[in-house]
Amino acid sequence: MFIDVHCHLDRYKENLGYALEQIKQHRIFTISNSMDLPSYKQNVQIAVSSDFILPVFGIHPWNASQYVGCPKDLDWAISESPIIGEIGLDYYFVNETSLYDDQREVFEYFLKAAGRQKKIVMVHTKGAESETFQLLKQYNTERVIIHWYSGPWHILKAMVEHGFYFTIGVEVLFSQHIQDIARYLPAELILSETDNPGGKQSITGTVGTPLLIKDVVGKLAEIRGTSDQIITTTVQNNLIRVGGRDSWLTKVRTSSG
């Protein structure tokens, strides 16, 4: 079974039917991340039709400003969500430094809640790798999945020492830096993702589909000198390990059976 730990099914829009068909046909266990409250509600609706889909809630750093001052409105969704994602900081695509305080405020609110509820967090770090890492340490966040890491080596190495997990996605097909990261990571910390439909679109201009996860797995196998099957099994075992005793893992077990 393939594992796509980070995508955004609500963003497939008119291509959703096709995406869901691929997920079912190719048995892709899919964690559908949210970027705000409306996208979370859509992801929950989408997941009703499939055992392969786990909808999770977070506020993307690009949307943080909308929720500053009313974080309590998020509490019901945070409590309901089995994993927290997508949250984090972005100082790369967001140029207006006046928005960074909002990003930090919302990110910290989620880190506090995740700590209390002992949940995995799925973290966006683009251009803010150092500050994101500082906050994760400050809040003693225990189970961390770093999504699409593309930052400096020294922070990557320190995060690895902290036992954070890392997703490798479609950029591994195109970028030497991501390929180097994919080669460096310890096997027990690697997860796979697509970040679709936007992940591929941001690189090539064409919309990605769920089955791109197969290409990601193939490339990981090539880079690490192993087989697709071993990568698939490794990723599945890693997801089960980071999941610990979480009840959503029954969905992974049902899907893989």
Closer to Zn ion by CB, 44 or 123: give it.
Answer: 123
Distance between CA atoms of 211 and 207, rounded to whole angstroms? 12
CA distance to 97, 149, 175, 248, per residue, from 204 (Å): 28, 19, 12, 34
* Identity of the residue, 86 or 171, whose beta carbon is nearer to Zn ion in the bound complex: 86
Reduce the DSSP state of residue 210 to 3 states and report it. Answer: coil
Q: Which residue lies nearer to Zn ion by CB, 61 or 243?
A: 61
In this structure, the dihedral spanned by the alpha carbons of residues 166, 167, 170 and 173, taken in order and rounded to 10 degrees, is 40
Minimum CB distance to Zn ion, residue 122 (Å): 8
CA–CA dist 132, 128 (Å, integer): 6
| Residues near Zn ion (CB under 5 A), total | 2
Interface segment toward Zn ion; rule CB under 5 A; list 76-84, 154-162, 191-199, 226-234? 191-199
Residue for token pair 């990723």? 235
- Lookup: tokens for 219: 């490339």
Instruction: Please name which of 126, 116, 129, 109 lies closest in space to residue 58, comparing C-alpha atoms.
Output: 109
Q: Minimum Å distance from CB 212 to Zn ion?
A: 14
> Cβ 204 to Zn ion, closest distance in Å?
17
Q: How far is the CB of 147 from Zn ion (least distance, A)?
A: 6
Quote the least distance from Cβ 6 to Zn ion, whole Å.
6
Q: Which is nearer to Zn ion, 60 or 119 (CB)?
A: 60
Among 77, 129, 195, 216, binds Zn ion (CB under 5 A): 195
Q: Nearer Cβ to Zn ion, position 90 or 102? A: 90
User: Using CA atoms, how far apart are residues 87 and 90, in angstroms rounded to an integer?
Assistant: 10
* Residue 76 and residue 113 in contact, taking contact as beta carbons nearer than 8 Å: no
Q: Is 193 in the site for Zn ion (CB under 5 A)?
A: no
Least distance (Å) between residue 167 CB and Zn ion: 9
| Single-letter amino acid, residue 90 | D
Taking CB under 5 A as the binding criterion, the range among 138-146, 190-198, 224-232, 249-257 that sits at the site for Zn ion is 190-198
Nearer to Zn ion, 58 or 243 (CB): 58
Interior CA angle at 99 toward 95 and 105, to 5°?
135
Residues 63-92 that bind Zn ion (CB under 5 A): 86
Residues that bind Zn ion (CB under 5 A): 86, 195
